[in-house]
Structure 1
């Protein structure tokens, strides 16, 4: 008999609606049991059996809940994760894990002391585009990697309707929001860099939070750039990986977010399937022959993350994204802000 993990979600904004509730609903190992909504009861319109609480504190008092998803504004992550752990709950927390690395270290220690799972929702590890990039890098078909560039660009002059993202303050801006994805992918591919240089700017007319960044991550031979701009009408490929014997060029092509926004559930046919025109270009040398071909993209699936959480809770498998991974991301972000302010390379 399948053990059911009763789960509460701290917010039912875009994150709750798109990235968490559908996966909890479809996975037979979870039950989307409770949600915090202070005024609108949108969750019950789609999930009639969900319990609605008006505060996180009220939901944490529910003894039936085994897992809490902390998907509130970035600056609240530390307080809500700490409260959930102290209430004896396992926790999935949205990226970025915390605003400061020392906060993440404290929470990781607290979870370990209580024997609870604390996992960070770095879901872009499960994008179709990143998965094929990782496959190519790890295959050795490019030789020693010398240069890598990862982009997450948008074209959007207007400010976000999510007011908490545009008011400034701890944990706001594109580097925390989108940069945490790119930095996590770079670290997962290449390990922790030795140093970082950064240029972080505000480029939209009415913005007060950073909406442009370029980071250079320094390794022994490799230089990895992660870049984002909100004013790129014609985007470059999202991944450009160059090795000693070959290159791999890949667009940003994962379709899961678009599918979720259309109201599809992650058990729908062709979930996360990449279109052939989005396949990545491999140009390298294999067995002495120059090869130039397109590599089929697989399917992205954020359910792999939630299944990993289930296996960690029920079968003591490895945490799919342990807090130590996410703390590395925050360390790079903090060093990047220091670099941009001081105009110099910061050693990690």
Structure 2
């Protein structure tokens, strides 16, 4: 390992690897995209001509020049590849979801502990513009005591695409795809709930994997609703948060994914600035409600994730997303599945 630059091997060059990980790694000072494990040789050569293309994971695990392995493969292979990479002495970033099951994720975390290597899960939406803004509002007490949070990630995709995410199988479906983002954000804001009630469904004609979820997290007073659907033409709502001092309503998604898909890179003018900032409604002394024109609107900052991973490897300390926090999100994913299977509320119990 160079004292200044970490060599990164990316495993997988599908949507996650191509759109999210490779551009963010390449844009992070102190990281070099050294190798990519994929069959998409021509595409990688065009996008990242400096990177070596490998056919097998073993090639990068045996390469002493590789410091960090990023796992961006289909969900059912996240844990096996991550565990093997850690055992080979590599630091590891795993795309979400951490694993298929909590016990599997725990085994990966234990492998990291035994190897003495950094392990982090790519919960990048902690650095969405809207989430950063919401967190700042809550920290400042702008909403008072929060009673409800509605977190939506809806789409209008009436046709079932022919891809692994939408076919029956381990780790497929919308709850595994988008659920980890919403679950992790809720846990970051409010910590573990008392109980979980979930409805996971298949609504589209021909669906064989979950394409709808509605999950309630019950706290002593607060209720958090996590929702994702595939048949939502008016899919603009992202957050609706209501408290004793006001409400915050946000429409539209964080712009960073669209920017990366369009070929823009961090550092481009206006990076992370949301064209549709939320509306803050405050309760006045007389009980009236009015919009606050001076409400904050923070920019998104996905690059902070890989900068944090770099610093944890080079200088010590915790990565930006710890294995422990990712295990908590996995426990919530599983609790929702148990609730749906039993058609009942389940207590949320997690012992680490």
Number of matched pairs: 345
Q: Deviations over 1:293-338 (max 9, x none)?
A: 2424222121010111111111113210011111111111111111
1:280 alignment partner in structure 2: 278
Contact kept, 8 Å, 2:6 with 2:32, in 1: the verdict is: yes
Aligned to 2:118: 117
Determine the C-alpha separation between the residues in 1 that align with 2:97 and 2:234: 27
In the TM superposition, residue 20 of structure 1 has moved relative to its aligned partner by 1.0
Contact 2:241 2:247 in 1 (8 A): yes
Helix, strand or coil at the partner of 2:178: helix
Alignment of 1:59-208 (within 5 A): 59-161=60-162, 163-208=163-208
Q: What are the superposed Cα offsets for residues 70-105 of structure 1, whole Å, 9 maximum, x if unpaired?
A: 010111011000110011000000000011011111
**Retained in 2: the 8 A contact 1:36–1:53?**
yes
Show the counterpart of 1:217: 217
Q: Superposition pairs for residues 178-327 of structure 1, below 5 Å?
A: 178-275=178-275, 278-285=276-283, 291-294=290-293, 295-327=295-327
Give the Cα separation in 1 of the matches to 2:164 and 2:253.
28
Gaps of 5+ in 2: none
Residue in 1 that maps onto 2:59: 58
Question: The residue matched to 1:254 in structure 2 has which SS?
Answer: coil
Q: State the SS of the aligned residue for 2:292.
A: strand
- CA RMSD in angstroms comes to 1.6
Q: Is the 8 A contact 1:38 1:55 kept in 2?
A: no
The Cα of 1:68 is off from its aligned counterpart by 0.3
Q: 1:125, 1:239 → 2: CA distance?
A: 14
Deviations 1:263-301 (A, max 9, x none): 1111211111112xx121111247788652242422212
CA separation in 1, counterparts of 2:333 and 2:267?
35
Pairwise CA distance, 1:38: 2.1
Describe the SS at the equivalent of 1:33: strand
CA distance in 1, matches of 2:126, 2:270: 19
Q: CA deviation at 1:252?
A: 3.0
Quickly say closer, same or farther: Cα 1:2–1:288, change in 2 above 3 A: farther
Given that residues 197 and 340 in structure 1 are in contact (C-alpha distance below 8 angstroms), is that contact kept between their aligned partners in structure 2? yes
Does the CA-based 8 Å contact 1:129-1:251 persist in structure 2? Answer: no
Instruction: State the distance in 2 between where 1:59 and 1:42 align.
Output: 19
4+ long deviations beyond 6 Å = 286-289
Deviation at 1:153, TM superposition (A): 0.2
Residue 336 of structure 2: aligned partner: 336
